[in-house]
Copies of this chain bind each other. A is one copy, B any other.
Amino acid sequence: MEAQMGVLNSNVPISCDACPLASYTVYGPTVCGNYSRITNLRKEIRLLAADKTIVRAGDKINLLHTIESGWAFQYRTLSDGRRQILAFLIPGDIISFETLIWNPVALPFAVRSLTPVRLCTFEAGSFKAGLNNTPEQTKKLSDDFSAYMESLYRKVADIGRRTARGRLAQLILELMGRTSLRNLGSSESFPFPSKQEHIADALGLTVVYVNRTLTNLRNESVIDFDRQNMRILKLGVLRRIADEE
């Protein structure tokens, strides 16, 4: 299964300089110049099955997790159980930016594995201290944080103002872009291991309606998909839908 995610299939920790994802992480620049600092700071590698809690909402975490393989997602639940997914996390992502900026914080969301995941865990304090303050490192941190905020704000606008088709198109394009940047997929096809239920929870829709909308797009040959992959057949059309609907 991990092999399907295209990263690693062994349980043996590797040093960060051998990690194909290292350069994409928040600490990428630090790893490049000085990888042993990071490797030494790593506390452990955690292996988790699919659909397991990684952190709970309200936790005061002093650990910092990076995803080495597999997908996870941040979410909140309402008192009656309705769930809203705030973001999907893919290999190279950090579980919680807020912990990096100010710790310890009571997390405003929970995080759960979507597929089996391998997590690199660090202790927040020493980790932050270990981030050398090169201009590159600072910029990387800033850029990653900005991108995260940007996608969060966009999400509010999308959910608030777009139709189901538009939201879906936005989500597909966002994940296409993010997987592509990390060499996990291309603009034609990328891994998308989530169930339609997760898509629904991410877009503020019901599973049934997500299915209908997805099926529409498939019937129009805009996209094609199965349990594990999303294929974009007409990128232009998808972009138009994402922009206009």
- Roughly how many angstroms separate A243 CA and B82 CA in the complex, as a whole number? 11
Q: Are A156 and B157 closer than 8 Å at their CB atoms? A: no
Determine if A86 is an interface residue (Cβ-Cβ < 8 Å).
yes
- Roughly how many angstroms separate A162 CA and B80 CA in the complex, as a whole number? 11
Which residues of chain A from 216 to 245 have any CB-CB distance to chain B below 8 Å in the complex? 243-244
Cβ-closest chain B residue relative to A244: B80
Determine if A161 is an interface residue (Cβ-Cβ < 8 Å).
yes
| Chain B contacts for A108, CB-based, 8 A | 146, 149-150, 153-154
| Chain B contacts for A80, CB-based, 8 A | 244
- 1/0 per residue, CB under 8 A from B, across A141-185: the answer is 110011001101111110111100000000000000000000000
Q: Are A86 and B145 closer than 8 Å at their CB atoms? A: no
Q: Are B142 and A84 closer than 8 Å at their CB atoms? A: no
| Chain B contacts for A146, CB-based, 8 A | 98, 102, 105-106, 108
Min distance, Cβ A90 to any Cβ of chain B, angstroms: 19
- The complex is assembled from copies of this chain, and their number is 2
- 1/0 per residue, CB under 8 A from B, across A61-93: the answer is 000000000000000101110111010000000
Known A76-B154, A155-B156: A82·B142 in contact at CB below 8 Å:
no
Apart from the given pairs A108-B149, A159-B160, 5 other A-B contacts in the complex at a CB distance below 8 Å: A79-B244, A86-B153, A98-B146, A102-B145, A156-B159
Q: Are A156 and B86 closer than 8 Å at their CB atoms? A: yes
Cβ-closest chain B residue relative to A150: B108
Determine if A125 is an interface residue (Cβ-Cβ < 8 Å).
no
B-binding residues in A (CB < 8 A): 76, 78-80, 82-84, 86, 98, 101-102, 105-106, 108-109, 141-142, 145-146, 149-150, 152-157, 159-162, 203-204, 243-244
Q: Are A83 and B161 closer than 8 Å at their CB atoms? A: yes
Q: Are B152 and A156 closer than 8 Å at their CB atoms? A: yes
Min distance, Cβ A131 to any Cβ of chain B, angstroms: 14
Q: Are B142 and A102 closer than 8 Å at their CB atoms? A: yes
A-B contacts, 23 of them at CB < 8 A, read A76-B154, A78-B161, A79-B243, A80-B244, A82-B161, A84-B156, A86-B157, A98-B146, A101-B101, A102-B141, A102-B142, A102-B145, A105-B142, A108-B146, A108-B149, A108-B150, A108-B153, A152-B152, A152-B153, A152-B156, A155-B156, A156-B156, A156-B159
